[in-house]
Amino acid sequence: MGDHALDRVGRGAPYRYDDEPALGVAHARAQALLERYNATRHEEDTLRVELLGELFGAVGEGVVVKPSLRCDYGTPVTIGAGTFINYDCVMLDVAPIAIGAHCQIASRVQLLTAEHPVDPEPRRAGWETARPITIGDNVWLGGGVIVCPGVTIGADSVIGAGSVVTRDIEAGVVAVGNPARVLRPVS
């Protein structure tokens, strides 16, 4: 894609949505695909697989995503083989979201890469940035988990329902709370 607007903002460059027409085009494309995806019937598994392949940057074999699904652009998202994503997942994918293989993502999980300035002047002017989210293999995100911009969750970790993950979580641990804190090793 070269220096496409989504590539630039996905690397953390400040941007204003209104100043980047390519973002509007990419967003419209994703919304059209999501509309089709979210309207699929239960028995239309083949169509769902095709639409996910068109929407996302990469989708491994055996991935299941239950509608409804929401995202901004789709192409910055990659999902590893055997991952299950339950109902009502939201992915604000201005920056890349990499989900490993064999993950379990419960209902109403939010993966949020976009962020706004704390300073009110640039926020009022519409400036934004984004930082990627990485979820390792075999991670379980409980219902309603929120993963904030720039977070990496290590392989085999479990994040308890309702947790808000504001910083990196190492591999092989159980973390819960707001903000999420490590309780113990998985085993």
Per-residue model confidence as pLDDT tens digits over 78-137: 999 999 999 999 999 999 999 999 999 999 999 999 999 999 999 999 999 999 999 999
Flag whether pLDDT at 41 surpasses 50.
Answer: yes
**Mean pLDDT (the chain, rounded):** 95
Structure tokens at 94: 């201005």
135-153: average pLDDT: 98
pLDDT of residue 2: 36
What angle (nearest 5°) sits at the alpha carbon of residue 95, between those of residues 94 and 96?
125
pTM of model > 0.85? yes
| 187 exposure class (CB count in 10 Å sphere: 0-12, 13-18, 19+) | exposed
pLDDT of residue 8: 80
Q: Are 66 and 42 in contact (CB under 8 A)?
A: no
CATH of the domain at 86: 2.160.10.10
Percent of the chain with pLDDT over 90: 87
Domain encompassing residue 117? 5-185
Q: List residues with catalytic annotation.
A: 116
Percent of the chain with pLDDT over 70: 97
Q: How many domains, in total, are found in the chain? A: 1
Q: Which residues face 158 on adjacent strands?
A: 140, 174
Element (H, E) at 5: helix 5-10
